[in-house]
């Protein structure tokens, strides 16, 4: 009798653990559509700082949807887009505390240039993505390859951490 009760309790515990593990895996995968309030970082009109615009993004990959919202540009008229037209995200992946974003070549070929322009582009991406829990750095790739810089002014050969000094 005790043996049957013990086996039943063990089976129930195993079943509960399996259900909890499945729930955790589904919740942290791209299987579910998620909705999250985020801050997108865009340039101020004087191209000196970044300022935030609050948005709600929705999708299976919240990081991808956030960067796509950043690429589309601001809704607020006093902010300016920081990523050139026709840029696409080819891939986005998280490895520990670093997120790797692979952009199409238009992030370089369509970029308007200048040190301020490059700084604002890079930190709009980095500051936007590092707001997420567990992300401390962003690595920028172009067409699947590491790049040293976008237009010659910032070292992108290593992952970049957020820059709070550039925020208005």
pLDDT of residue 100: 98
Alpha-carbon distances, residue 25 vs 13, 28, 53 (angstroms) = 18, 5, 31
Pseudo-torsion of CA 44, 154, 166, 144, nearest 10°?
Answer: 70
User: How do residues 129-162 score in pLDDT, each as one tens digit?
Assistant: 999 999 999 999 999 999 999 999 999 999 999 9
User: How do residues 21-67 score in pLDDT, each as one tens digit?
Assistant: 777 766 666 667 789 999 999 999 999 999 999 999 999 899 999 99
State pTM to two decimals. 0.83
Helix (H) or strand (E) holding 140: strand 137-142
- Look-up of token digits 């499945």: 22
User: How do residues 67-108 score in pLDDT, each as one tens digit?
Assistant: 999 999 999 889 999 999 999 999 999 999 999 999 999 999
Grouping H, G, I as helix, E, B as strand and the rest as coil, residue 8 is helix
Helix (H) or strand (E) holding 21: helix 2-27
How far, in Å, CA of 83 to CA of 74, rounded?
11
Among 11-15, 18-22, 121-125, the minimum mean pLDDT is found in 18-22
């Amino acid at each position: 009798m005790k043996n049957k009760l013990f086996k039943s309790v063990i089976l129930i515990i195993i079943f509960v653990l399996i259900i909890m593990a499945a729930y955790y895996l589904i919740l942290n995968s791209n299987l579910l559509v998620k909705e999250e309030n985020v801050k997108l970082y865009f340039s101020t009109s004087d191209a000196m700082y970044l300022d935030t615009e609050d948005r709600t993004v929705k999708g299976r990959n919240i990081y991808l949807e956030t960067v796509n919202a950043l690429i589309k540009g601001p809704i607020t008229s006093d902010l300016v887009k920081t990523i050139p037209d026709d840029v696409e995200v080819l891939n986005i992946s998280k490895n520990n505390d670093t997120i790797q974003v692979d952009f199409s070549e238009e992030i370089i070929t369509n970029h308007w240039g200048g040190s301020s322009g490059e700084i604002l582009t890079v930190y709009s991406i980095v500051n936007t993505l590092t707001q997420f829990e567990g992300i401390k750095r962003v690595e920028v790739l172009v067409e699947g390859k590491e790049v040293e810089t976008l237009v010659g002014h910032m070292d992108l050969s290593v992952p970049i951490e957020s820059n709070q000094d550039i925020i208005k």
